[in-house]
Amino acid sequence: MDKDIFEQLYRQHYAAALLYAQGLCRSRPLAEDMVQEAFCRAWLALPDGVVSFRSWLFRVLRNLIIDHLRRQKHLSDEDVPETADAATPESVLLQREDAAALYRAMERLGAGDREVLTLYCFAHLSGAELAAALGVTPAVIRQRLRRARTRLRQKMEEDGYEF
């Protein structure tokens, strides 16, 4: 693969891959390591005929994380990630409280729900990209997203949020 093209792909997909990895392994340092390993594998062994680099990368990343977690037999807990700065201290506090509530609710979801929501909402994969990354059909993705959103809403309502 051409170095310039690879650098462009890296810049384009790194942030989304890191968000996804953090959602799965719940550890920023581990997520960073897994993303670097996935990009190294892309550099060394990107197969010919890959339709979507993004889908292929996320599939490799997912498999790396699953393999690592199987070896470790545990998941680490991370602090709630900080949100972006806002105009006032009050709005910053509200954003952090909302982010913390969302994070807690997502932590209480099953791994499959957490994975599909993280890829769709935070890594911004399309339904087709999600299907390719997870090795299922787009119809399955639509169903999994619908069910995951419903369960997330229930968790948020249990915490007192209204929709």
pLDDT digits (tens, 9 = 90+) for 48-71: 666 678 888 888 888 888 788 777
151: domain CATH number? 1.10.10.10
Cα 96 from Cα 20, distance rounded (Å): 20
Query: With 80 as the cut, is the pLDDT of residue 15 above it?
Result: yes
Tell whether 13 and 67 lie within a shared domain: yes
Query: With 70 as the cut, is the pLDDT of residue 7 above it?
Result: yes
Q: What is the DSSP letter of 161?
A: -
Query: With 60 as the cut, is the pLDDT of residue 162 above it?
Result: yes
pLDDT band at 34 (very low <50, low <70, confident <90, very high): very high
Tell whether 72 and 89 lie within a shared domain: no
65: domain CATH number? 1.10.1740.10
What is the helix, strand, coil percentage profile of the chain, to 5? 75, 0, 25
74 Cβ neighbours under 8 A, 6+ residues apart? none
pLDDT band at 84 (very low <50, low <70, confident <90, very high): very low
Domain count, the chain: 2
Tell whether 69 and 105 lie within a shared domain: no
Q: What is the pLDDT of residues 94-119, one digit of tens each?
A: 667 777 778 888 889 998 999 898 88
Q: What residues make up the domain containing 143?
A: 82-163
